[in-house]
Amino acid sequence: MAVLESALGEREQTFTAQKDRIARAALALLPTEGGTIAIDAGTTTSRFAHALPRDHHLTVVTHAVPVAAMLAGSPQIELHLLPGRVRPATQAAVGAETVDALSRLRVDVTFVATNGLTLAHGLSTPDHEEAATKRALVNAARRVVCLTDSSKIGVETTLRFAALGNIDVLVTDSDIDDDVADELRESGLEVLIA
């Protein structure tokens, strides 16, 4: 099923309880004190950034303006904002400059968002520059965690940025179909239900 990309403000109002549970559950996947994480743009990843513990020192790399604004000034966070053109729809820096900056990085864990996730197509998004940036985020990480509410599972958008084999853990909500969760696990993906 193809879907159109909705604006950030519109997406912030949907599945809010599920996104909060996903964000809290994903905290268990943080690297040890002093580790480095990358946080993708998205409403669930923004909630995750907001939930970061105040007593756990981390280096955070992001291309998401809302995430950077939220974490700027947090004493436990060493914040690195990636360069690039900011897309109005996602309020995220994208483009060749962003991808180039990511190509030189290695982070412990990337927390990535997606517009769609299926067994056949993997993780997808409708915009070329957004897909390239997400692909670079995935490639920069030792471990990749996808944070997405269950409404996006079974959805395919135009551009795949990661195969399921590129993702280590999926954190989603309890509305995921049990059979789909089992199929994802059988494909080798760890599925954490929030």
Q: What confidence tens digit (pLDDT) does each residue in 102-144 have? A: 999 999 999 999 999 999 999 999 999 999 999 999 999 999 9
End-to-end CA distance of the chain: 25
Enter the tokens of residue 67.
């995430």
- Is residue 67 within 8 A of residue 45, CB to CB? The reply is yes
| Average pLDDT along the chain | 93
What mean pLDDT is predicted for residues 72-90?
96
Rounded Cα–Cα distance for residues 55 and 34 (Å): 11
Pair 124, 114: CB distance under 8 Å: yes
Q: How far is CA 47 from CA 15, 40, 93, 174, 185, in A?
A: 12, 11, 18, 18, 25
State the pTM of this model: 0.92
